[in-house]
Each structure stands twice: as C-alpha cells, then as structure tokens.
C-alpha cells in the first residue's frame, strides 16, 4: 500500500485548553485559541503493510519507547476502524526540534499522524474530520490541523463532531512572534492528561477557570480580528496565569514552574514596562514563552539569552496547517 508523509507544527495556546468534559474523546470543558509555531515541526510517514504482524514505530530514527508506540497504535486503531482494515503499519516520526527540548510534541505529532495515516489508509477526510481525528490522539493536536491562528470550539455534541478547530487568521495576517526559552529540557514530571484530571477533580478554582475561559476566548478572537495585539497579549497572559492558578490549587498542588520561569515572567513584564510589545505564556511545564511583535523580537530574544537558567532560545513565527508532503 502507498506510503504517505505529513508535516505538522506544534502550537501554543493563547487561551488555554486545560480540562476535559470527556476523557475518552478528548472533549474540552471550554474552547481555546492557538497559534502554530514554525519551525517546531514533526514529520511522519505511515505505510500499511500486510506483511507486518504488528505496528512498527520509529521515533527520531530509533525504535520508539513502548509507551509512545502503544499510543500511536491506539490512534492507528481509530484509523483502521474507519477504513475497515486490520493491516498493521510502519510509522516513522521525527521532530525537527530536539524531542528532549522539553517542548510538547504531541500536538504536532498527532496532527502529522492523523494526516499521514488517514491518507495511507485510503480515507479522504476534510479538514474538520482531520481535526476531530487528531483531537483523539491529543486534544491540542486538533488545532495543528488548520494551523495559523486557530480556535478550537468546545462543541456540545456528545460524540465530538462539533469539537474541532478552524483557522481564524492566516500566518501572514498577524505581526506576531513567539520566543521560547528552554528552562529545563528534561521530561515533564506530570503529563497534561493526568494534571488536567487532577485539577478538574480537586481544584476549588476549576469551575472559575472554565467559566473565565469562555469569555477570554471571545475577547481573544475579537482581538485577533481587530489586530489588537495588546488586548490579545493581555488575554494570553491572564489565561496562562489562570490555568496555573487552578493547577496550584489542586490537591496535591501542581507547580509547573521553576525559578527560571518566574524570572522570565518578571523579565517580560519589565520589558513591557519599558515600552516593548511583549506578553507571557506558559504551558504544562517550565518553559517560558514570550508573545511579541516582530519589531520587539530581537530585544526579547536578547533578554532571554541573558537570563540565568535559560538553556536555549528558539524564535518562532506563525506557521501554517498540517500538510501531506509526500
Ligand atoms: C497546557 O493536548 O497535551 O498545553 O488532550 O490530554 O493530550 P491531552 O492534552 P494536551 O494538553 C495541552 C495543554 C496545554 C494548553 C493548550 O495547549 O491549550
């Protein structure tokens, strides 16, 4: 059978997804908004082969760790079900950024896998179907299908058909950059799924977090439409802080940051006070991410490079959606 290769980008949420209403289908408690990050890409090749007794998964040119391979196989089962085949597949996936850089690769990974695997299985899926499929692998992956600036609607359907991401702005429509600081390249101590579930079950702030996210999403989408960077940056910062506040209040509390993260947050606020257009966000890990205008990118990158504890600085621009490249 044919071999299909897809490339997809990681994305960073400016309005965060952090809480599920359905853990099986990865249906979120609230909507979210993200931008796709070029050059943080994953490239994945899938080929179904009747000679294979089991799926064979390679990550960055070596056999993938068993937990990773099992997650890929579970995802392939969804594609096999849909295509009505039981063939096993050869999967080769590689991140263009170091896998150990402490950046989430599940969004780019499952978006690339959804496109490559559905193509290889002979399915002809539209963007909405691909987004819903990628979501099953990892929630945030649904936003990497359209890329650009994407909104993932929470949806109301119990089967998740309306819980998909769509693009609200193309990459060149906004003058925005993301400067990522690596504050700890080690693996995450707690996966997003586990931490989200603990927050949902135990954090007394969870309800307030979900409620505030719905209005933050409206404000952020309007700010994108108006190219109001200051408004968008403000919402991004408060969404990140709100998510971390809900996590801190979980039982036991979850502290994703290290000292370098806090220093970076303060540094960004100082740069802003000095007149730069820059705002802070941070996901379920310690890496600080600065959202800024392109004119401010050199100053932001230089400030991160001088911060003690920052191991690497990666400059990103807004990228496109997941595509077949071969
Ligand atoms: C903090 O999409 O990795 O980055 O659906 O359980 O795979 P699962 O979670 P995942 O969570 C991302 C959480 C976040 C915020 C965001 O990207 O919106």
Is residue 186 pLDDT above 60, yes or no? yes
Mean pLDDT score, 66-75 = 96
pTM higher than 0.85, yes or no? yes
With a Cβ cut-off of 6 Å, ligand 1 is lined by 13, 16-18, 26, 32, 104, 106, 138-140, 192-193, 283-284
In the prediction, which pLDDT does 99 show? 56
What is the distance in A from the centroid of ligand 1 to the CA of 53? 32
Instruction: Give residue 124's pLDDT band: very low, low, confident or very high (50, 70, 90).
Output: very high
Q: Which two tokens stand for residue 15?
A: 């309005």
What is the distance in A from the centroid of ligand 1 to the CA of 37? 15
d(CA 319, CA 148): 6
Residue 1 burial (C-beta neighbours within 10 Å; 0-12, 13-18, 19+): middle
DSSP state of 174: S
- Of ligand 1's atoms, which has the minimum distance to the CA of residue 106? 3
Mean pLDDT score, 99-128 = 89
What's the whole-number average pLDDT of the chain? 96
d(CA 224, CA 202): 34
Is residue 100 pLDDT above 90, yes or no? no
- pLDDT tens-digit series, residues 278-312: 999 999 999 999 999 999 999 999 999 999 999 99
- pLDDT tens-digit series, residues 27-59: 999 999 999 999 999 999 999 999 999 999 999
Strand pairing class (56-59; 88-95): parallel
In the prediction, which pLDDT does 101 show? 54
């Amino acid at each position: 059978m044919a071999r299909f290769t897809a490339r997809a980008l990681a994305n960073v949420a400016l309005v965060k997804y952090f809480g599920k209403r359905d853990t099986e289908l990865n249906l979120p408690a609230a909507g979210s908004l993200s931008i796709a990050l070029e050059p943080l890409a994953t490239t994945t090749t899938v080929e179904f082969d009747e000679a294979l007794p089991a799926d064979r998964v390679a990550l960055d040119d070596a056999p993938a760790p068993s937990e990773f391979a099992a997650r890929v196989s579970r995802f392939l089962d969804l594609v096999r079900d849909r295509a009505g085949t039981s063939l096993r597949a050869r999967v080769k996936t590689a991140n263009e950024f170091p896998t150990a850089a402490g950046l989430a690769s599940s969004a780019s990974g499952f978006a690339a896998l959804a496109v490559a695997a559905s193509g290889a299985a002979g399915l002809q899926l539209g963007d909405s179907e691909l987004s819903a499929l990628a979501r099953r692998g990892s929630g945030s992956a649904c936003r990497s299908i359209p890329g650009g600036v994407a909104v993932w609607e929470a949806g109301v359907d119990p089967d998740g058909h309306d819980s998909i991401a769509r693009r609200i702005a193309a990459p060149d429509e906004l003058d925005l950059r993301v400067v990522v600081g690596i504050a700890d390249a080690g693996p995450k101590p707690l996966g997003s799924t586990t931490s989200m579930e603990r927050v949902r079950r135990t954090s007394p702030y969870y309800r307030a977090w979900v409620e505030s996210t719905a209005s933050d999403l409206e404000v952020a989408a309007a700010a994108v439409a108006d190219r109001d960077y200051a408004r968008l940056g403000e919402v991004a910062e408060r969404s990140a802080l709100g998510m971390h506040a809900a996590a801190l209040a979980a039982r036991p509390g979850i502290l994703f940051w290290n000292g370098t993260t806090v220093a970076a947050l303060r540094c960004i606020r100082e740069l802003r006070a000095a007149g730069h257009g820059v705002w802070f966000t941070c996901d379920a890990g310690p890496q600080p991410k600065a959202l800024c205008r392109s004119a401010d990118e050199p100053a932001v990158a230089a400030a991160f490079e001088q911060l003690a504890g920052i191991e690497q600085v990666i400059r990103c621009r807004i990228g496109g959606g997941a595509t077949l490249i071969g």
